[in-house]
Structure 1
């Protein structure tokens, strides 16, 4: 039976995601807080926060779920051509705060953002604890694109991406994939499908199948050193 749970600040446990509402799709719980322990418990359970400044904290586990298998990202011919010629620099965990601030800016035709100041503060805290990570794309010393998310075992839970120059967010995804392949990650959780993710090769699976994969991969460890802050590609992207 579908039901909505009201969380307390003292108990960081979550209800079974199968109890989430069908409409709105995946809404599971309300309330609680954005402490590191609760956020990590959420991602370990296939749950994530999503709300705006007018809402209480809302927790979701939608069905179906969108995901990308590292190695199966769709790279179009035009993007491959662009990659060969680009002189952009890619970094890892170089400027997490700026990435999430850019992601928080409302998109075209949007009046508000779900990446509230509370969300920004909470994920920056997770980053400082070594749990949240960013990929940055730079052109001539300027941050032009990037993405951020949470690492859970061999799963990378993508949260948001941005670009201020065409192709910059796609380039961030390409190099996220390369990084995850190098360090033996098994899955990129992209949460809910949208046209941009679909164009990059994201697939949808049932929530139950996703949770089965998460239960397996969250217990496994990738190779060490993946998220060391560093330059990943400098001054040029070449195949």
Structure 2
């Protein structure tokens, strides 16, 4: 969780309690633990090293007490599906709460991007048109996020191989970036009988789903120039 010159806190470190859908409290606790570690380091006139005390505070403090009993819930959900997975996850939480000495920790069997089905094995979903009362179109929702990127800045969504989206992802997965992106950043455009992959980086709301979910692991999200992006304070 630490490295020379920095540390991972809050959601960046994965401190969300999944079954309780809570994470703000652990984000604040991690900030407090990091601040205490920084204060101690300054008091000892240390520099150019790692805040190892921060990780120790996380692993022995309230964050660990909150997350340890629920550590197996998401792996069970991923392995056995929604219904059975949630039942087994609840049983595991109950067992870990009553018997905290249990040390078994499950891991995901495969990374998230490897769970995608091929297009010929998936049934297309026909979504109803937005009614503008309870449901809204994507671009209207993107507008409400206040996201903004200077039009002349370098695109912060990098493709390892620009040919992969059309050459591999389109025939195998119907190019899933068109669907898993919540901001309509990615499109497959047909011009003159040729298809091309278009990146509307201006729309990006910085969820990093593409970086995680792309089946070829070909998309790399990097921080945009000048710190542009959504207006988080208004979201």
For the criterion TM > 0.5, the same-fold answer is: no
What TM-score do you get using the length of structure 1 for normalisation? Answer: 0.24
**Whose RCO is larger (CA < 8 A, sep 6+)?**
1
Hey, which of these two has a bigger chunk of helix by percent? 2
Q: Which of the pair has more CA radius of gyration?
A: 2
Q: Counting strand residues as a fraction of each chain, which structure ranks higher?
A: 1
